[in-house]
C-alpha cells in the first residue's frame, strides 16, 4: 500500500464549460453507459449532486507512490451521504472511492490506505463499517466467518447511506476496469473503452 500525496485537494474537480462525461451504472452488470450530463458546481468546483444521483468518484494509485489520482462522475450509485472505498478494483486494484462530499471521500480512501487495503463505508469522516484486506489489499487473514460478517456490515452500511444496489462494492470495483464498455476510470483519468483512448471529463461545447 504505497500511496503518495493524497489530500483533500487531490480529490477536487475544477468546473469547466461543457457537459461532463458520466459513468452510468447498469444494475447487476459490469458495463456502464457513457452519459453527457450537466455537472453541479459550487465556487468553481464540481460537487456531487444527490438530487440527480451524480456522485464524484476517484481512483488513487496505490502501488508505486506516483501520486496519480483520476477523477470523474458516476450516476446510479444512489448514495445520499457518506462515501465508500475499496482496494479491490479490477484489474489494477488501485483504491477506488465514491462519495457525496470530498471530505468523506478523503476519509474513506485514507482509511483503506491505513488498513493496508480493504473495504470501508464512511459518514461524516468516521468509519461506519470496514473489512481490512491486509494481504496485497485483496485478501483477508481472518477466518471465513469473520470475513462474511464484515462483508455484510459494509454492504448494510452502504444501504444505510442510500445505495439500493445489490452489491455496491462489487459494482464499485469494476468501475476501474478499462476494458469493459463504455466509460471507465483509471488513476490516469477516464477511458472511452469503445474508442480505447483517454478522454477528458468535460466535452467542450461546440459553437
CA angle 48, 201, 61 (to 5 degrees): 85
Residues 91-129 have pLDDT tens digits of 999 999 999 999 999 999 999 999 999 999 999 999 999
pLDDT at 111: 98
CA angle 122, 75, 107 (to 5 degrees): 20
What's the rounded Cα separation, in Å, for the pair 33 and 193?
A: 11
Residues 160-187 have pLDDT tens digits of 999 999 999 999 999 999 999 999 999 9
Give the residues across from 64 on adjacent strands: none
CB atoms closer than 10 angstroms to residue 9? 10
Q: Is the pLDDT of residue 206 over 60?
A: no
Q: Are 27 and 166 in contact (CB under 8 A)?
A: yes
| C-alpha grid cell, residue 50 | 444527490
pLDDT at 148: 98
What's the rounded Cα separation, in Å, for the pair 164 and 147?
A: 22
pLDDT at 205: 60
Residues 30-74 have pLDDT tens digits of 999 999 999 999 999 999 999 999 999 999 999 999 999 999 999
Q: Is the pLDDT of residue 134 over 90?
A: yes
Q: Is the pLDDT of residue 207 over 50?
A: no
| C-alpha grid cell, residue 179 | 476494458
What's the rounded Cα separation, in Å, for the pair 158 and 152?
A: 10
81-119 in b/e burial notation, b at 16+ Cβ within 10 A? bbbbbbbbbbeebbbbbbbbbbebbbbbbbbbbebebbb
Q: Is the pLDDT of residue 82 over 50?
A: yes
| Pairing of β 118-123 and β 69-75 | unpaired
Amino acid at each position: 500500500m504505497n500511496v503518495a500525496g493524497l489530500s483533500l485537494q487531490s480529490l477536487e474537480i475544477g468546473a469547466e464549460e461543457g457537459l461532463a462525461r458520466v459513468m452510468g451504472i447498469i444494475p447487476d452488470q459490469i458495463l456502464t453507459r457513457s452519459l453527457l450530463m450537466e455537472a453541479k458546481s459550487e465556487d468553481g468546483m464540481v460537487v456531487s449532486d444527490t438530487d440527480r444521483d451524480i456522485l464524484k468518484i476517484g481512483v488513487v494509485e496505490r502501488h508505486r507512490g506516483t501520486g496519480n489520482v483520476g477523477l470523474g462522475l458516476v450516476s446510479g450509485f444512489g448514495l445520499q451521504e457518506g462515501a465508500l472505498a475499496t482496494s479491490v478494483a479490477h484489474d489494477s486494484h488501485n483504491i477506488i472511492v465514491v462519495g457525496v462530499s470530498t471530505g468523506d471521500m478523503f476519509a474513506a480512501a485514507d482509511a483503506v490506505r491505513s488498513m493496508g487495503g480493504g473495504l470501508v463505508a464512511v459518514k461524516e469522516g468516521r468509519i461506519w463499517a470496514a473489512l481490512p484486506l491486509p494481504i496485497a489489499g485483496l485478501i483477508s487473514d481472518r477466518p471465513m466467518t469473520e470475513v462474511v460478517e464484515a462483508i455484510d456490515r459494509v454492504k448494510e452500511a452502504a444501504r444505510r447511506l442510500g445505495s439500493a444496489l445489490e452489491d455496491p462494492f462489487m459494482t464499485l470495483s469494476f468501475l476501474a476496469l478499462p476494458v469493459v464498455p463504455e466509460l471507465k476510470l483509471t488513476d490516469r483519468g477516464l477511458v472511452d473503452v469503445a474508442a480505447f483512448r483517454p478522454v477528458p471529463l468535460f466535452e467542450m461545447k461546440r459553437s
